[in-house]
Structure formats: C-alpha cells, structure tokens
Structure 1
C-alpha cells in the first residue's frame, strides 16, 4: 500500500523536528506572535501532536532554550509575601538557582547568547515574556513603569551572572549568599519600588515654557 502524504505522524524524530520549528519561529517572530498552529504547520505535524509532546506554548518555549528552571514555579514563591522585601527574596532565589547544578546549564546558555544572535533573541524573549512580565504582573507594578523597572532589575541580575558565574571575579565570586543578598537586595528593591527620578517622570519643561 502506498504511504499517504500529509502531516508527519508521531515518531522518535518528531519531537526534535517540532523543537527546531519552534526555535526558528520564536527567534524570528517572538513569543507573542508565534502560535502552536504555526509551529505545527512548519514542522509538518498536527497541532495536537505539539501539545502531546510539550503541553502549552509556554512549556514548548522553555524546551526550545532548555532552561533549567520554570519561572511559573519560582516567581509566585518570590511574590507571595507582597512587594515589601521582594528585592532580597528575588536575589536569594536567584543565587539558590545559580549556585545549584542548574546554574551550570544556565551559564552555558548565557555564554551562548553573548556569541550567537539567534540564542540572544530566544533568551531576550524568555526574560521579557516569561520572567519580567510575569514578575511585574504578580507584584502589581504600575504598567507604565514596569518595562523600565524590570529592565533595571535585569541589568543587575545579568551583571551578577557575568561577575559571579562567568568571570568569577573575587570576592563576589565566592561571597556567601547572605552577604550578596544584603548588598544587592536593597538595590533591586529600589529598582522595583523606589523613586527613579526623571526616568519615570514627565520630561522637564524648558524654563519660561
């Protein structure tokens, strides 16, 4: 009997085919503008098969960059006690993840993003849609200020990755977590809730205007 053409049936290679199609789609169009149906069409499979292998679009996106932790599990824990003290809780959780075996995989992804624009796009989409957007939503930060505040937090944490885990610059590289939390937590807290001056205010009017 002749083999029917059409969508690709499930087989051991199907998962990787879907992943390749998803990586290309997320890197080219971003998370918000990419649909499961479009990924399925590109991979030559039925959308139900994508859900079978990966579940939701969020789960598929995490699989494309092979991130070793799920923000949907960590962020509610950080935000559970409200906005007060969230800077220290965020830094403490960050250190716990990066100081664990999962940090090795995360560091590899960070290094790859610095040298590969395609990986950088995926990592940027991950930070914007899966981490920063969720965090500011859970903390009910003013939507008008959320992008700036979250990007400032990201700059602090990315700097921590570079100095503590990539360059391993002492004494920060081997500083006890409690010391790092005490030093960095208040800065992250200010980025989230403090006065940022003219960065979040209206532009000044010229004198006499």
Structure 2
C-alpha cells in the first residue's frame, strides 16, 4: 500500500532521515542564508516530504540552531583561549578561530552562520546572546578591567571582519594568504586590545 509521499516521489522517514534533513539544511543556509531558506526547500534537498521536516523540527529557527551546530563547543573554545600565558592570548584566539574556518565542515557552517546573522534580526539576537554568554563573558572576566567587555568585543569585530573579507567576499590577497601569515599579523592587534 503506497502513501502520498510515495506517489509524489518523496520517501518516507528512514534510518538517517533526520541526518539527511540536517545536511540539506546546512547546505541551504550556507548557500541562501536564513531568509532564503525554507522548510519546503530543505525537504526538497533531503528528498523528503515537507511534513517530515516539520515532524523533526517545529520551526525554521529550530532547524537552523541544530543544523548550524558549530564544529566546536563554544565553551571549549573559551577554555582553550584562556588556557595559557596571558601574553599569548591573541595568538590562541586567532589560531582557534582560523582552525574552525579552515576545516571544510567548519567553513560551510560558519558561512551559513554569518549569512544568516546578517539577514535575520532574530537569528542575530540568538547568536549574540549565545556568543556573549559562552565566549565573551568568560574571556572578559579573565581579562578584567572596567572596559573588558568592550575590548573583547573589539576582538570579535576584528575576527568577524576578517572572516567576512576572507571567506565570504574572498577579497585578495587576504583570501589566499597563508594561515600562519594571518596569525602573525592579527594576533598582535588582538593582544593589544586585551592587554592594554
């Protein structure tokens, strides 16, 4: 006995349907951003009926949050950045940041993340809250001082600007510069923000 999804050529749920939906969602968010991605489009990409996407994820926001799970835990990032001599924190920050971006899976997820943040106020607020709580607050606490949050935010602005220019705009020569060159050039700037 066939059902409607079979008649339309869509497959019913299977052993890795949820994984297929998440992969299709990651691809769509990376290519189209948050506003350009639809639940129906993700369903098409995964080869399933849209109702099945709604079965696993009750909203596009919920799908985004799970699909865009960062390749590293932000709490581990903060711990890595803070583990070591204070005078080397700039090097650790940019090394960890570029390490995430330079991995193929990390780059796809981070591109989707940036595109979605700039196209949706709701996603921007969600990410802002998460980043503030999981990374900016602990680093600011260790850095100390009245303007610690401002200095850590300046670091974030440098990293986000570099990511937009290198990975989204692909502006040369930054786009093809060796990672070690970027670390050597950016780390002292970040260090100055954090230790002055």
- The normalised TM-score by structure 2 is 0.64
Q: Is the 8 A contact 1:165 1:173 kept in 2?
A: yes
Secondary structure of residue in 1 paired with 2:70: coil
Q: CA deviation at 1:81?
A: 0.8
Q: 1:189 aligns with which of 171, 176, 191?
A: 191
Q: Which residue of 1 aligns with 2:126?
A: 122
- Distance in 2 (CA, whole Å) between partners of 1:93 and 1:105 is 15
Residue 70 of structure 2 aligns with which residue?
67
Q: Using the alignment, how far apart are the partners of 2:103 and 2:118 within structure 1?
A: 22
Please report the RMSD computed on the Cα atoms of aligned residues, expressed in angstroms: 2.5
TM-score (norm 1): 0.61
- Report the alpha carbon displacement of residue 109 of structure 1 after superposing the two structures with TM: 1.2
Tell me the distance in 2 between the aligned counterparts of 1:14 and 1:73.
32
Partners of 2:68 and 2:109 within 8 A in 1: no
Alignment of 1:1-209 (within 5 A): 16-17=57-58, 20=59, 63=66, 66-101=69-104, 102-137=106-141, 140-194=142-196
1:35-60 CA-to-partner distances (Å, cap 9, x unmatched) read xxxxxxxxxxxxxxxxxxxxxxxxxx
Provide the C-alpha distance between the structure 2 equivalents of 1:88 and 1:165, rounded to a whole number of angstroms: 20
Q: Distance in 2 between matches of 1:189 and 1:172?
A: 20
Structure 1 stretch displaced more, 69-78 or 94-103: 69-78
Displacement after TM superposition at 1:69 (Å): 2.0
Q: Is the 8 A contact 1:65 1:123 kept in 2?
A: no
Task: Work out the number of aligned pairs and report it.
Answer: 142
1:65-106 deviation per Cα after TM superposition (whole angstroms, max 9, x unaligned): 533321112221222113111101110111111010212111
Are the counterparts in 1 of residues 90 and 187 from structure 2 also a CA contact under 8 Å?
yes
Q: In the aligned structure 1, how far is the partner of 2:178 from the partner of 2:126?
A: 31
Q: Does the 8 Å CA contact 2:89/2:191 hold for their aligned counterparts?
A: yes
Structure 2: unaligned runs, 5 residues or longer: 1-51
Detail structure 1 runs of 4+ shifted over 6 Å in the superposition. Answer: 12-15
Structure number with greater Rg is 1
Asked if 1 retains the 8 angstrom alpha-carbon contact of 2:78 and 2:134, the reply is no
Normalized per residue, which structure has more helix? Answer: 2
